[in-house]
Structure 1
Amino acid sequence: MNAVVIAVIVMLILSLLRVNVVLALIVGALAGGLTGGLGLGQTVSVFTEGLGGNATVAVSYALLGAFAVALTKTGLPDAMVEAAVKLIGKEGDTRRKTLSKALIVFVILIISCMSQNIVPVHIAFIPVLIPPLLKILNELQVDRRLIACAMTFGLTAPYVLLPVGFGQIFQGILKDNMKDAGLSVTLADIPIAMIIPIAGMIAGLAAAAFVYRKPRTYEMKEIAGQKSAAYTKKSLSIAALAIAVSLSVQLYLSQSLDVDGMIFGALSGLAVLFLSGAMKRGEADELITNGMNMMAFIGFVMLAAAGFANVLEKTGDVKALVEASTGFISNNQVIGALLMLIVGLLITMGIGSSFATIPIIATIFVPLCMQLGFSPMATIAIIGTAAALGDAGSPASDSTLGPTSGLNADGQHHHIWDTCVPTFIFYNIPLILFGWIAAIVL
């Protein structure tokens, strides 16, 4: 049995059984390591060594959560809620309520898309924007699964398709790794090759909007750290300044100095709130702790996912899985493209990051695509789609963990059943189908 298949299946089954994702990743890694012949001691050692791979991400998200909760002292969440209330109209106004629901979903979708390219902050906006809006979403009876699908689309599709912001990084990694594997392509080729797969995601988003259009009832619960606070023009100005400083620092560090700026971006925002007096010294510790608690889940999952990925890589069974699949291909491009996408799905579901997946699968898929006679454009579509599958539906992806962290702020949104299962159905399945079509027609 292949270690990758065993590890991913164990992890997914445990997750679907509502076992905590962190525990599911650890048990899955153990099963994969033992199946791959690493032995208990080496599996534990390799898993532990891999934990550091996402340490920066975990600390970044913890500080972002702290910054988001600290912003509540400025009254910004209440101001956002009051602004949203004006959209709802009078109780019983069905048409106004329907338009309000559509507008809020559309705004969240646009902000999510902008977070990848125009203002590339990735999921940093979620702890600031989503928790304060939960009461409004509850009042409008918006199905949070639709919001999760909208955010995951916005966190994935733009960087896969558009060569700016995170898209420039993703497509640069794809181009460089394909070149290293023996196939030279240009950056201009990648967006064209990915149009058909992204069309599948657009179709999936439309289907999700249709399926989750019906009202869904949630309890009105207080959110930890999100206590009502009076706001003034001055306090809102301080909040706006803190957000602007945080984003500016993050963008400067990431764009100009080419380093991850989320930690110091969040820290600079906290500094503005502290120095302005919006966050008092006596309450700073409690606020920051509450914020870190809100984002702790995503941080621990990312740490466990790094260890899980390290175990899979050390077994050597990723390459063995591809080689075993070639026995079914028999130089048939149609079967070959489908099998490569399915194998890519298995690999990326465990790793959970398209950026980390490309170096692994490009090395194996490029020679196989060349052997089967796929065009360079078709090869881009296969590898790009296989990588995107992880971000679109994996329990270990920050593109699913981010939406969950915001939507579950009041404990009423399950990561697996309310985020990962919907995004898998509406994005991963269309991605495989449309990626398959792209591989055949390009």
Structure 2
Amino acid sequence: MNAVVVAVGLMLILSLSRVHVVIALIVGALAGGLLGGLGLEGSLSAFNKGLGGGATVALSYALLGAFAVAIAKSGLAHALADKALILVGQQAKRGTGLLKWAMIGLLMSVAISSQNILPIHIAFIPLLVPPLLYVLSQLKIDRRLIACVLTFGLVTPYMFLPVGFGSIFLNDILLANVARAGVDTSGIQVTQAMLIPALGMVSGLLIALFSYRKARSYDMERIEQTKRVAVRYSPKSMLVAVLAVAAAFVIQLWLDSMIIGALIGFVIFSASGVVRWREADDLFTEGMKMMAMIGFIMIAAAGFAEVMRETGQVGALVEASVAWIGNSKALGALLMLLVGLLVTMGIGSSFSTVPIIAAIFVPLGVELGFSPLAIVSLVGTAGALGDAGSPASDSTLGPTAGLNVDGQHNHVWDTVVPTFLHYNLPLLAFGWLAAMVL
């Protein structure tokens, strides 16, 4: 059996069995490496080699966590939560339907903006979501719906909008790798290629809004214990918070470094006195601990991905599919998308998946007679498949980090499974449709 299939399948089974994702990734990687002929020593060597690839991302998230705690200390997020609580009280007598949709719209808007307008990715989640949990729970909003909303905002913009992270994915990764594999992309409108798959994500969101429309109750005492320590905020702390966020944003764009941007933002809080110097060390440590799980999972996922590359079994998986395809474009498109789903579910990153599959899929797409536009759509969709729904993806880890601060939101069953069902399945269907009509 193919090593990639076994490794990803074992990782998913262990995750669904509530084994920690880091352990599931390690066990899956070792099993795939052994089956792929690397041996135990070779599998461990490849895994260790890949760990360094996730270190930069992990450190970035750790520093962003510290920055987020400093922003929370300023009271910015709590001020927003206080305003929302006032609105809850005002709406209580008239029903909370309007406020419920306002909260969902707010979180979706911020998630979308985090990819394009203010490219801070998932860093906003541990900053904004925990202070709002009390409000969301009073409104009895199902957190699985919030997970789906946040994941939609984290994935769909980079799939379709060529700005911020979208510019990196669509132009620097997708078009560049398709061109490198032998297809002329000079006249291709990448948004046209990804429009139909993006509509698949929209349809999944609409289904999620229906699936999780019913009220769901949470233990308010547990939320009270974790939601707030008394946080005092003032016009000065609000101003410093805005300046720190703006500085972090500018530095990140200027130096292309989330690490330096978050560090500068934290320094501004310390220098202004909003974060007292004697408290800085504890706050910094608290923030890094908050994002530690994401960091370790991303590091383990990088090791897992390196083992999969070393086995060489991704190419073998595609070659095995060719025998089933024949000359059928419809079957070819479906199998390519399924392979992309499998690879991304294991690696956890669409950005890392596209370079792996493009070199194989592009020649296959040309041989089957797909147009250049359809090939771009196929490769882009195959790469994005699995980002929503992978236990190791930051698009699922981020929502869990914010929604589970009180221990009432399970990563696999409340984030991974809902996002997989509501986004990967429609994306498969719409991606296949795009390949057939473009």
Query: What TM-score, normalized by structure 2, do the two folds share?
Result: 0.96
Contact 2:63 2:263 in 1 (8 A): yes
SS at match of 1:89: helix
Find the partner of 2:255 among 253, 256, 265.
253
Q: Paired residue for 2:182?
A: 182
Say which is worse superposed, 243-252 or 15-24, in terms of deviation: 243-252
Change (3 A) 1:15 1:133: same
Change (3 A) 1:123 1:241: same
Q: Paired residue for 2:418?
A: 422
Deviation at 1:72, TM superposition (A): 2.9
Contact 1:175 1:187 in 2 (8 A): no
SS at match of 2:156: helix
Contact 1:224 1:410 in 2 (8 A): yes
Deviation at 1:354, TM superposition (A): 1.0
Deviation at 1:212, TM superposition (A): 0.7
Deviation at 1:71, TM superposition (A): 2.3
Q: How many residues align?
A: 435
Q: Paired residue for 1:61?
A: 61
Q: Paired residue for 1:267?
A: 263
CA distance in structure 1 between the aligned counterparts of 2:50 and 2:94, rounded to whole angstroms: 52
CA distance in structure 1 between the aligned counterparts of 2:426 and 2:404, rounded to whole angstroms: 26
Contact 1:171 1:187 in 2 (8 A): no
Deviation at 1:89, TM superposition (A): 3.4
Question: 1:205-251: CA deviations, max 9, x gaps?
Answer: 00001111111111232466952211121222222222222222112
Deviation at 1:189, TM superposition (A): 2.2
Q: Paired residue for 2:140?
A: 141
CA distance in structure 1 between the aligned counterparts of 2:90 and 2:42, rounded to whole angstroms: 63
Deviation at 1:188, TM superposition (A): 4.4
Gaps of 5+ in 1: 255-260
Q: Paired residue for 1:217?
A: 217
Q: Paired residue for 1:241?
A: 243
Q: Paired residue for 1:258?
A: none
Deviation at 1:135, TM superposition (A): 1.1
CA distance in structure 1 between the aligned counterparts of 2:303 and 2:331, rounded to whole angstroms: 32
Change (3 A) 1:263 1:225: farther
Runs ≥4 residues deviating over 4 A: 222-226
Question: 1:41-69: CA deviations, max 9, x gaps?
Answer: 11011101100101111011111111111
Contact 1:153 1:205 in 2 (8 A): yes
Contact 2:33 2:40 in 1 (8 A): yes
CA distance in structure 1 between the aligned counterparts of 2:228 and 2:241, rounded to whole angstroms: 15
Contact 1:351 1:390 in 2 (8 A): no
Q: Paired residue for 2:150?
A: 151
Contact 2:361 2:379 in 1 (8 A): yes
Contact 1:69 1:226 in 2 (8 A): no
Question: 1:345-399: CA deviations, max 9, x gaps?
Answer: 1111101111111111000000111111111111111111111113222111111
CA distance in structure 2 between the aligned counterparts of 1:235 and 1:3, rounded to whole angstroms: 54
SS at match of 1:393: coil
CA distance in structure 1 between the aligned counterparts of 2:165 and 2:86, rounded to whole angstroms: 34
What one-letter code is carried by the residue in structure 1 that aligns with 2:361?
F
Deviation at 1:340, TM superposition (A): 0.8
Q: Paired residue for 1:99?
A: 98
What one-letter code is carried by the residue in structure 2 that aligns with 1:89?
G
Gaps of 5+ in 2: none
Say which is worse superposed, 173-182 or 320-329, in terms of deviation: 173-182
- Does residue 363 in structure 1 map to residue 351 in structure 2? no
CA distance in structure 2 between the aligned counterparts of 1:73 and 1:355, rounded to whole angstroms: 33
CA distance in structure 1 between the aligned counterparts of 2:129 and 2:225, rounded to whole angstroms: 11
Query: What TM-score, normalized by structure 1, do the two folds share?
Result: 0.95
Contact 1:50 1:308 in 2 (8 A): yes
SS at match of 1:213: coil
Q: Paired residue for 2:234?
A: 232
Contact 1:72 1:226 in 2 (8 A): no
What one-letter code is carried by the residue in structure 2 that aligns with 1:45?
S
Change (3 A) 1:208 1:94: farther
CA distance in structure 1 between the aligned counterparts of 2:387 and 2:64, rounded to whole angstroms: 20
CA distance in structure 2 between the aligned counterparts of 1:67 and 1:187, rounded to whole angstroms: 42
Contact 2:68 2:123 in 1 (8 A): no
Contact 1:401 1:415 in 2 (8 A): yes
CA distance in structure 2 between the aligned counterparts of 1:176 and 1:298, rounded to whole angstroms: 29
Q: Paired residue for 2:159?
A: 160
Change (3 A) 1:90 1:227: same
CA distance in structure 2 between the aligned counterparts of 1:107 and 1:395, rounded to whole angstroms: 25
What one-letter code is carried by the residue in structure 2 that aligns with 1:365?
F
Q: Paired residue for 1:199?
A: 199
CA distance in structure 1 between the aligned counterparts of 2:293 and 2:383, rounded to whole angstroms: 24
Q: Paired residue for 1:257?
A: none
What one-letter code is carried by the residue in structure 2 that aligns with 1:377?
L
SS at match of 2:99: helix
RMSD (Å), alpha carbons? 1.4
